[in-house]
Chains A and B, each alone.
Chain A
Amino acid sequence: MLLFQPLYHFGRYCLMLKGAFSKPENAGMYWKETIRQMVSMGIGSLGIVCVISFFLGAVTTVQTAYQLVSPLVPLYVIASIVRDSAILELSVSVLCLVLAGKIGSNLASELGTMRISEQIDALEIMGVNSKAYLILPKILGALVAIPALVIISCAVTILGGYTVSFFTSVITPEQYLYGLHDKFVGFNVTFCLIKAFTFAFIISSISCYYGYFTEGGAFEIGNSSTKAVVWSCIFILVSDYVLAQLIL
């Protein structure tokens, strides 16, 4: 039984995606819902993304300086490390783990509440494909909003480090700017975006899965949200490793 449980969930998840990616009854309504989701996820998460990213950048700058004790390593390397850490990991993987908590739990609890209050049944009885109407806009919304947040996060993380250079003696602003430009690899940004799209799909689809198939009451909604966040985080970390191994 324990062996079949993951297969059962995987099969139901695939069927959910098949249902979600089917022809919309009314494209206009789906478009409006997609825009609403983009605004909710994007604008709704912008504040926390900026705060987290700024301090990640600042802390990375200070801690990298602390570890660079060799006088043979020039200080502008700190900025290069902050830049590459932000683009390759901090502003993608770490940020998406945070977004899995914020957006993932939100999606799962929204759909879970709709399920137990019979709103999903109401849609089905009207003749609306509830999987497509509720899940597709959320996935599309996440695929636009999350990569956009990741790009903003990269910029704010680097800005966080730059701000440190003004207020501390670990690195000067000139050294920081020089380090940012030094040996910049454009492909890292492409890799960052590939990861962002993958994580956006993982967060939205897994959270929708747990929310959509909620059964019971308020306690189960909480359970669904928790499972959505936990499994999103696990799959983000696994796919992070797989993508790094495959692409880099």
Chain B
Amino acid sequence: MIELQNIKKKFGENDVLKGISAKFEAGKTNLIIGTSGSGKTVTIKCMVGLFEVDSGSILYDGRNFSTMTLAERKVIRKEIGMLFQGGALFDSLNIEQNVMFPLNMFSTMTKKEKLDRVNFCLDRVNLSGKNKLSPSEISGGMKKRVGIARAIVMNPKYLFCDEPNSGLDPQTSLVVDQLIKEITEEFKITTIINTHDMNSVLEIGDHVVFLWKGLKDWEGSGKEVLTATNPELDEFIFASKFLKEIKNRTF
């Protein structure tokens, strides 16, 4: 479980996070949603340590990440997997080498054990046999799936996904979403997804946190977002005329 306790973050005079508290449980897909500039990416970057919080605590199963030394953080970071918006695959390495990279760096496995693990992960994301392709030879959806394979290769306890559906068509988005949900439940991972894709919210949102102007404005399940009475959330979910019309007819 990951717990945020009143985290605050400022950039110059700009208060980006104004005190966010939330709990993200293991084995569930936790979604952070919100409009652009609401603080989603900053929250996730603070959680993984790419930004330092100004105040507040981030607890990984009770371990306070914000007060840890660099060496202590390295231990936690080995338990973290992250899927980036663009995949963030290393251009100079092929798919197999990309997925194997964390194993090469940190594990004491033999070459065969590493290869077996890589093949298992690639198989899990439906990319068997694509080992030798380079990142420039594969599609955006495949890059995301390779990113997932690399993120899970070290058996992480915590999985962070930064807008996993950006730039993908609706069908591929669904595949990526389902894959993340299956992996989360199968390996009991604490998964946190930063998104503004409403399909993801409705399809895989076990727990949804809505951020608005740097504050947690609403919290609930993916299904509850449709019937929530929060005006900001309502405005965010039913942004288009079409959706507003559907809402008026349905609810």
Check if B239 is an interface residue, CB within 8 A of chain A. no
**Chain B 42-61 interface 0/1 with A at a Cβ cutoff of 8 Å (1 = within):** 00000011100000000000
Contact B50 A122, beta carbon cutoff 8 Å: no
Q: Which residue of B lies closest to A33 (CB)?
A: B92
| B-side contacts of A25, CB under 8 Å | 105-106
The smallest C-beta distance from B240 to any residue of chain A, in angstroms, reads 29
**Chain B 65-99 interface 0/1 with A at a Cβ cutoff of 8 Å (1 = within):** 00000000111011010101110111110000000
The smallest C-beta distance from B75 to any residue of chain A, in angstroms, reads 8
The smallest C-beta distance from A4 to any residue of chain B, in angstroms, reads 17
Check if B104 is an interface residue, CB within 8 A of chain A. yes
Q: Which residue of A lies closest to B85 (CB)?
A: A118
Q: Which residue of A lies closest to B147 (CB)?
A: A122
Tell me the interface secondary structure of chain B in the complex: mixed
A28 to B114, CA, bound (A): 16
Tell me the interface secondary structure of chain A in the complex: helix
Residue in contact with A121 in the complex, picked from B78, B84, B90, B106, CB distance below 8 Å: B84
Contact A117 B88, beta carbon cutoff 8 Å: yes
Closest 5 CB pairs of A and B: A127-B77, A122-B88, A118-B88, A118-B84, A127-B74
User: A122-B90, A125-B50, A126-B101 provided; 15 other pairs, C-beta below 8 A?
Assistant: A28-B104, A29-B104, A114-B90, A117-B88, A119-B88, A119-B89, A119-B90, A119-B91, A121-B84, A122-B82, A125-B82, A125-B160, A126-B77, A126-B102, A126-B105
Interface residue ranges, B against A (CB under 8 Å): 48-50, 73-75, 77-78, 80, 82, 84-86, 88-92, 101-102, 104-106, 160
